[in-house]
Structure 1
Amino acid sequence: MTAWWHRLSGPAKFRVYSRVALQLGLATVIVVMAITAGLSWSTVGIVVGGIAAIVAVEVQPEFAISPGAVSRRWALPAAVATLAAVWLADVVVARRATSAATVDQARLTGVYAVVLAMFAVVPFFRHKVWTVLGLSVATGLAFGTSPATALGTAAGTLGFGGFVLGTTLLTVWGLRVVEELDRAKGVEAELQVAEERLRFARDLHDIVGRGFSAIAVKSELAAVLSRSGKADRAAAEMDEVKTLAVESMGQMRELVRGYRGIDLMTEVAGARSLLSAVGCRLVVQGDPANVPARFHEVAAWVVREGTTNIVEHSAATSAVLTLGAAGMSLRNDCPHGPAGERSGLRGLAERLAPLGASLDVRASPDEFTLEIHWESK
């Protein structure tokens, strides 16, 4: 259970907490109602109504502890009908009973049935306020033996029912806010990816477009010179075309390999920004200047790949990047499962091998650590 909980993202944890808290709250209300009613026939009505209320909450997608376990098609109408039947049965008992104690017990059970409906059913109706008012007035009229009793019953039902209704509505509101924030984080991450793609496309256009334009012009000029019999000038132009092609290919390789070079300071700043966008706080220990110059580029790649792993394979809320003369490490909490075989980590190991550096990966249910060792010479 602990490992399962740690694998959940923050919004998922809040959803689970809200669902369990609401169901436990409803169960607590039912137990309190049963205790206050005493061991009598009304206890059966409260228990039956309580079970119907729990089922009514369980069929709501926002609060289902086991989604899909209960069919909304039949369960919700059955729960509503059960609560209505309990209420009507209490009305009949209250109207036909001759004992004042029986009337009071029937009135209490009927009010409880309405409150359970306000807790588990009414919050998901369209016109909630009018439904609460209508149920309160109907309960007061049905169980009131006098104007004062009817008014007191209606007021008590309205107060108690309004409180539990507000509790459910606040929980629904909190869940929807968290859902919106989670969706906004996803949109922000997608926008950052799209922005990076646009930047890459712009850089690629600047490098390749300029080179290819020059190649096209010089090739056309060489063809004209060749047809006019100026072979030496045509050959010179073709030599320049070759030089331009080689330079453009080199620039394109550099762009693809590192987006016109990869800088450790820039990657650290970018990692902090990206992780912050997904709700993870990055703490940097040490100074990039401590990393030996020959390892700056590969350290930047480690930061980039490690950041990508955190975003894609964890629900981390905190990460720590340590930079030193003998190596570096990047660790984060809340990983999603074991490390497994990740192509990015394999690519990092291939980059490190020619430099004599080593990659060490440690994973547990609570933490994932990426550690690099090198010798500063």
Structure 2
Amino acid sequence: MTSWWHGLSGSAKFRLYSRATLDMALVVVVAAMAITTGGWWSIALVVAGIAAVGAVEARPEFALSSRPEPREWVLPAATVTLTGVWLAAVVVGRLAGSESTVAQARLTGTYVAVLAMFSIVAFLPHRWWTVLGLSLATGLAFWKSPASGLITATVTFVFGGFVVGTTLLTLWGLRVVEELDRAKAIEADLQVAEERLRFARDLHDIVGRGFSAIAVKSELAAALSRSGDTDRAVTEMDEVKTLAVESMSRMRELVRGYRGIDLRGEVAGARSLLSAVDCRLVVEGDPAHIPARYHEVAAWVVREGTTNIVEHSSATSAVLALGGAGMSLRNDRPHGPPGERSGLRGLAERLAPLGATLATTASDDEFVLEIHWEKK
């Protein structure tokens, strides 16, 4: 259950909470209704309450996945059940001779109308007109006098309007949370696209001109060779070689500039990135404690570890510890065991030439990435 809960997204957790809240509210309301009516009507209200809970559970708005299992029959069955109990109360209320029986039937009919508004009417397109119509229908169905009919319709409308408003506020909250999740996903995609465009622009600006010159001089050397001017052709090819070497050097510099990272900058970037996904990063120690020869690889550990936290957990807190003999990065709420992660394998390959080692520890509640090196 812990792993399942941690694996849910923030919007799915809020959706589950909202659904559970509505279900519990229905259970409490039905229990109160059954106690106030008594007799056989209590059983009828329990049946109506089960139908109302089933109608809420069948709503796609509260599904935990984007592809909920189809349960088209639940909503019609709930509607028929609630309608049947309401009609039974109307018939008994119209035919019964005992005033107490009529009062119980009227109370039951009003309760069932409110349950229908809570679980079915609130999700309809023209919900407020339906609330008004159902309230008037309930008042007319149990009409004994103008005063009693008006009171019944008014009470039904007030309580029905309250529960419909509560359900609408819940749905509004769900939409807000889902919009926030979508905005975070779009922001992450835009950041990746922006970084790709930056690298492509730098590659074009720095290396493109050298490659263009190589192409032109190669074509010129070929033309000179065909015309018999071999000396100039050799000179041009020597220049092509020089340009190729220079272009390769510039490309290496570009890659190093792209991949070369600073430890302090990565720590600041990690805090900012984790904060964007509602995860608080606590830094223990100082980057200055890391030996100079391990600064670059330590920065890579911070970057890759932060990426793993974002991609493979629902962490709310993380701790980065920096020391002279090693470092560690731990986070809560991982999504299962670490598995085969190419990023961590790449880190291990970077660490091996420096004599450093990588170790991971995973549990249902925590994931720990530890790096150890020889202190000098």
TM over 0.5: yes
Q: What amino acid sits opposite 1:25 in the alignment?
A: A
Shift of 1:227: 5.7
Aligned residue for 1:330, secondary structure, equals: strand
Separation (CA, whole Å) in 1 of partners of 2:288 and 2:242: 37
| Pairing 1:48-63 to 2, within 5 Å after superposition | 48-63=47-62
- Segment of structure 1 superposing worse, 319-328 or 80-89: 319-328
Aligned residue for 2:61, secondary structure, equals: coil
Q: Which residue of 1 is the match for residue 343 of structure 2? A: 344
Aligned residue for 1:259, secondary structure, equals: helix
Separation (CA, whole Å) in 1 of partners of 2:318 and 2:294: 22
Q: Is the 8 A contact 1:42 1:109 kept in 2?
A: yes
Q: Is the 8 A contact 1:58 1:70 kept in 2?
A: no
Shift of 1:327: 1.8
Aligned residue for 2:330, secondary structure, equals: strand
Query: Structure 1 residues 134 and 312, CA, compared in 2 at 3 Å: closer, same or farther?
Result: same
Shift of 1:186: 0.8
Give the % identical residues.
74
| Pairing 1:119-268 to 2, within 5 Å after superposition | 119-223=118-222, 226=225, 231-256=230-255, 259=258, 261-268=260-267
Separation (CA, whole Å) in 2 of partners of 1:258 and 1:338: 34
Deviation sequence 1:153-180 (CA, Å, 0-9, x none): 1121112112221221111111111111
Separation (CA, whole Å) in 2 of partners of 1:111 and 1:122: 15
Q: Which residue of 2 is the match for residue 12 of structure 1? A: 12
- Segment of structure 1 superposing worse, 222-231 or 300-309: 222-231
5+ residue gaps, structure 2, are: none
Query: Structure 1 residues 277 and 123, CA, compared in 2 at 3 Å: closer, same or farther?
Result: same
Separation (CA, whole Å) in 1 of partners of 2:97 and 2:207: 96
Separation (CA, whole Å) in 2 of partners of 1:221 and 1:295: 48
Separation (CA, whole Å) in 2 of partners of 1:65 and 1:13: 8
Separation (CA, whole Å) in 1 of partners of 2:54 and 2:8: 26
Tell me the number of residue pairs that the alignment of Structure 1 and Structure 2 aligns. Answer: 375
Separation (CA, whole Å) in 2 of partners of 1:300 and 1:321: 12
5+ residue gaps, structure 1, are: none
Q: Is the 8 A contact 1:19 1:62 kept in 2?
A: no
Separation (CA, whole Å) in 1 of partners of 2:342 and 2:256: 16
- Segment of structure 1 superposing worse, 235-244 or 115-124: 235-244
Q: Which residue of 2 is the match for residue 85 of structure 1? A: 84
Q: Is the 8 A contact 2:19 2:56 kept in 1?
A: no
Q: Is the 8 A contact 2:12 2:64 kept in 1?
A: no
Aligned residue for 2:368, secondary structure, equals: strand
- Segment of structure 1 superposing worse, 92-101 or 230-239: 230-239
Separation (CA, whole Å) in 2 of partners of 1:20 and 1:258: 52
Shift of 1:285: 3.0
Deviating above 6 A after TM superposition, structure 1's stretches of 4 or more consecutive aligned residues are: none
Aligned residue for 1:339, secondary structure, equals: coil
Q: Is the 8 A contact 1:292 1:325 kept in 2?
A: yes
Q: What amino acid sits opposite 2:177 in the alignment?
A: V
Q: What amino acid sits opposite 2:248 in the alignment?
A: M
Aligned residue for 2:314, secondary structure, equals: coil
Separation (CA, whole Å) in 1 of partners of 2:176 and 2:215: 56
Compute the TM-score of the two structures, normalised by the length of structure 2. 0.92
Shift of 1:222: 3.7
Query: Structure 1 residues 260 and 316, CA, compared in 2 at 3 Å: closer, same or farther?
Result: closer
State yes or no: 1:334 paired with 2:315.
no
State yes or no: 1:115 paired with 2:109.
no
